[in-house]
Structure 1
Amino acid sequence: MKLCFISSFPPSKGNLAEYGFYLIKEFKKSKLFDSIVVLANQSNSKKEERIGKLKIIRCWKQDDFFLPFRILYRIWKENPDIVHFNLHMMNWGKSKVVNFLGAVTPLLTKILLRKKVVITLHNIVEAVDLEKMNLKKNFLIEIGTYLATKSLLSVDKVIVTLDFFKRILVKKYKAKNIVTIFHGTFGKKVKRINLNSNKILAFGFWREIKNLPLLIEAFSDLKKKYKNLELIVAGSSHPYFPNYLEEIKKKYKKVKGIKYLGYVPEKKLDKVFKSSFLIVLPYLTGVGTSGVVHLGVSYGKPIIASDIPQIVETTKEEKFKVIFFKNNDKEDLKKQIEWILKNRKKVRKIVEENLKISAKNSFSQISKKYLSLFKSLIS
């Protein structure tokens, strides 16, 4: 079987590139595929490269009005058995028009090229707080997002990462082709749990909705009481907001004990996560299930997060234990961090349970569900 996988892909950063990388890493191990072609976004790497049965073709870029034609042409040329799109609703750039064109591309693949099409849809508009993302609702946006979602749901199978998303789509769009496959963890990444550090880790691609100022201000207050406390901010600015972190650094340059690491490549993840004792997600809203939560449980670290629906539902469905604070409430965040600092024995039990669940929901396990779905489509 030949698979064509459309996704952002490393060394590109963000926009599901890391998720695509880990999923393809597992697919490559399967005997189901004779060859895998990744149609990736353009980056500084080679336009085309081959690694064993994997071929990576960098044929599209964000905010390109010709994006559907470039992708359709490559799919036609490669002639795969199954086409798999790895998407979220703003996958194709900042332009609303280009994102709409990207959203109809999977359906065009099914109709024009007569291919079996699968989509992994990582978020849905109905589950996002648009106001907190500075997006005002209007008639055109509502019609556009409805038609885009309807188009996405018209392919052979749509995979969502939460039953929470599935329930919304079934109720609003009467969809009958939706399957839930959890995001996937990175397995058990540690042999021993280590909670002896004084480093708080904030990790991700940073933008306004990630609410980093709230964490910095809470940290600044706690630092007066806990002198050895450190805050590690790992990850770069979000590709759509390239100056965000620089502005944060300027605003909080007087706060002592903060270290900014910038983008962290995969080979350095171990060091960053293992050297921390706590991970904090201070988000105002979410755009999907959090990859940082899945990294945190894999590395055996306690997690504090704002009580936004996407993370709350993730913990309910995947059975992870996360300590929540009231969204955008600095005092409650400080209270939960202090509880972690004072109750490390209790925290260890939480982490042990999370590690057990992480092993069951690893990428190697969830990839088997994808393979089973692909087989059913071909047969």
Structure 2
Amino acid sequence: MKLAIVTAYPPSKVTLTEYAYHLVKSFRQSEKVTELILLCDKTEGEKDIHFTENGCKIIVKECWKFNSYTNIINVTKAINATKPDTILFNLQFMKFGDKKVAAALGLCIPMVCRMKKIPTIVLLHNILEQVDLESAGFTSNKLAQKVYNFIGTTLTKLILKADLVTVTMDKYVTTLKNKYEIDNVKMIPHGTFEIPPNPSQKLPTGPLKVMTFGKFGTYKKVESMIEAVELVRKETGLDLEIVIAGTDNPNVPGYLANAQETYKHVPQLTFTGYVEEVEVESIFTESAVVVFPYTSTTGSSGVLHQAGSYGRAVVMPNLGDLTTLIEDEGYRGEFFEPESVESLAKAIKAIVTNDAYRIELGETNYKAATAYPMQRITDIYLDEFFKIIERKK
């Protein structure tokens, strides 16, 4: 199979790049894939396709830009030139831009592929019906929210023109089927990127690291975490380091720089900036606890699966999607009430003051992560492609 993947890809700073990296890493090792075509965004740096494992040939076609109005034309041209047998889209609603028209035009591309009779699957990481638009940083204006919902419904109808739309949570399947009265939606789990054998629960000497990882500024905010750790320091006298690993959300440039300036008086506060793929493992394994300082959620959490794969204890907000994910996939963590620094401090304290509990949570999360390795996930996608090909025959 000659498989094309439409996605942002490292070193791109557009969302879902890390997921794309691990999709490619896994797909290329399958005997069913003879060639991988990356239809990805244009970046200044070279695309990270230099894997150590053997695998199939990879062709990189940089054919779209964030917020470009010509993406639909350029991606279609790249498809015509490369002639893939199948196409997988790695998407969320703001994938092609944060401007409404640019985003909408990009999300029409799966429908174009369906019209060209190319077997097409869209992996949709979030659905607008389950997003709190205000908390997620879209808009607080009620009229604007109605407009966003109308646009979201229209775009979802376009996306559903693909042969198959996959989501990472069962409740998304139920929502889409009930609202749009369709049956081409399926849940395929998010999957776990890397699963090192039996990660050690032993921490490096020095301060206990309380870490958060991601793109910050919209519904992921670091202020509450910094203030919560300061409370825990005051109450326990523990030597704690705060690690903010990641970058600004593209919609909120300068957010982390402002936070760094605001909290420059706080000791042992580290902002790592962009974390290269080779540095991800050490960021997680050196941490005593991984915190999710979210005020909302927009889908399944890749960071939770990473934390699990490295056997880390987690602190999570008591929010719908994350709570559901933990119940469905067997993860465990300490919960806190969003917007409450005191509640977050209590959750962090419960783990950093009880080493046996920290280890228990980490081992449970590792067990949950091993249930869905990325190779298993990509095999499911390949099976679905072959089913579509058979139906088209």
TM-score (norm 2): 0.92
What amino acid is the match of 2:196?
K
Alpha-carbon shift at residue 190 of structure 1 (Å): 5.2
Matched residues in 2 for 1:342 and 1:300: separation?
Answer: 18
Q: Does the Cα contact within 8 Å between 1:190 and 1:298 map onto a contact in 2?
A: no
Where in structure 2 are the equivalents of 1:273-312 lying within 5 Å?
A: 273-312=284-323
1:91 and 2:102 aligned: no
When structure 1 is superposed on structure 2, of 347-356 and 147-156 the one drifting more is 347-356
Distance of aligned partners of 1:222 and 1:350 in 2 relative to their CA distance in 1, 3 Å threshold: closer
Identity of aligned residues (%): 30
Matched residue, 2:108? 104
Give the counterpart of 1:200 among 191, 210, 229: 210
Distance of aligned partners of 1:48 and 1:130 in 2 relative to their CA distance in 1, 3 Å threshold: closer
1:71 and 2:75 aligned: yes
Matched residue, 1:145? 152
Distance of aligned partners of 1:285 and 1:272 in 2 relative to their CA distance in 1, 3 Å threshold: same
Where in structure 2 are the equivalents of 1:309-320 lying within 5 Å?
A: 309-320=320-331
Matched residues in 2 for 1:318 and 1:285: separation?
Answer: 20
Matched residues in 1 for 2:260 and 2:359: separation?
Answer: 33
Q: Mind listing any 5+ residue stretches in structure 1 that lack a counterpart?
A: none
Matched residues in 1 for 2:214 and 2:254: separation?
Answer: 15
TM-score (norm 1): 0.95
Distance of aligned partners of 1:222 and 1:372 in 2 relative to their CA distance in 1, 3 Å threshold: same
Task: Give the secondary structure class of the aligned counterpart of 2:244.
Answer: strand
Alpha-carbon shift at residue 166 of structure 1 (Å): 1.0
Matched residue, 1:181? 188
Matched residues in 2 for 1:12 and 1:181: separation?
Answer: 25
Task: Give the secondary structure class of the aligned counterpart of 2:95.
Answer: coil
Matched residues in 2 for 1:17 and 1:205: separation?
Answer: 12
State how many pairs are aligned. Answer: 378
Distance of aligned partners of 1:356 and 1:110 in 2 relative to their CA distance in 1, 3 Å threshold: same
Q: Mind listing any 5+ residue stretches in structure 2 that lack a counterpart?
A: none
Matched residues in 2 for 1:218 and 1:368: separation?
Answer: 42
Where in structure 2 are the equivalents of 1:13-162 lying within 5 Å?
A: 13-45=13-45, 53-111=57-115, 113-132=116-135, 133-135=137-139, 136-138=141-143, 139-162=146-169
What amino acid is the match of 2:79?
I
Where in structure 2 are the equivalents of 1:165-180 lying within 5 Å?
A: 165-180=172-187
Spell out, residue by residue over 1:230-281, the C-alpha distance to the aligned partner (whole angstroms, 9 max, x if none).
1111111123322110010111111112111111101111221111110000
Task: Give the secondary structure class of the aligned counterpart of 1:69.
Answer: helix
Task: Give the secondary structure class of the aligned counterpart of 2:219.
Answer: helix
Task: Give the secondary structure class of the aligned counterpart of 1:204.
Answer: strand
Q: Does the Cα contact within 8 Å between 2:41 and 2:62 map onto a contact in 1?
A: yes
Distance of aligned partners of 1:251 and 1:143 in 2 relative to their CA distance in 1, 3 Å threshold: same
Matched residues in 2 for 1:315 and 1:74: separation?
Answer: 40
1:364 and 2:368 aligned: no
When structure 1 is superposed on structure 2, of 62-71 and 47-56 the one drifting more is 47-56
Alpha-carbon shift at residue 49 of structure 1 (Å): 8.8
Matched residues in 1 for 2:159 and 2:199: separation?
Answer: 43
RMSD across aligned positions (CA): 1.9
Matched residue, 1:251? 262
Matched residues in 1 for 2:344 and 2:149: separation?
Answer: 34
Matched residues in 1 for 2:318 and 2:7: separation?
Answer: 29
Q: Does the Cα contact within 8 Å between 2:312 and 2:363 map onto a contact in 1?
A: no
Matched residue, 1:232? 243
Q: Does the Cα contact within 8 Å between 1:47 and 1:59 map onto a contact in 2?
A: no
Matched residues in 2 for 1:270 and 1:290: separation?
Answer: 17
Q: Does the Cα contact within 8 Å between 2:41 and 2:64 map onto a contact in 1?
A: yes
Matched residue, 1:375? 386
Matched residues in 1 for 2:134 and 2:283: separation?
Answer: 33
Alpha-carbon shift at residue 46 of structure 1 (Å): 5.1
Alpha-carbon shift at residue 343 of structure 1 (Å): 2.4
Q: Does the Cα contact within 8 Å between 1:110 and 1:117 map onto a contact in 2?
A: yes
Alpha-carbon shift at residue 137 of structure 1 (Å): 4.3
What amino acid is the match of 1:145?
G
Distance of aligned partners of 1:46 and 1:254 in 2 relative to their CA distance in 1, 3 Å threshold: closer
Matched residue, 1:4? 4
Alpha-carbon shift at residue 134 of structure 1 (Å): 4.3
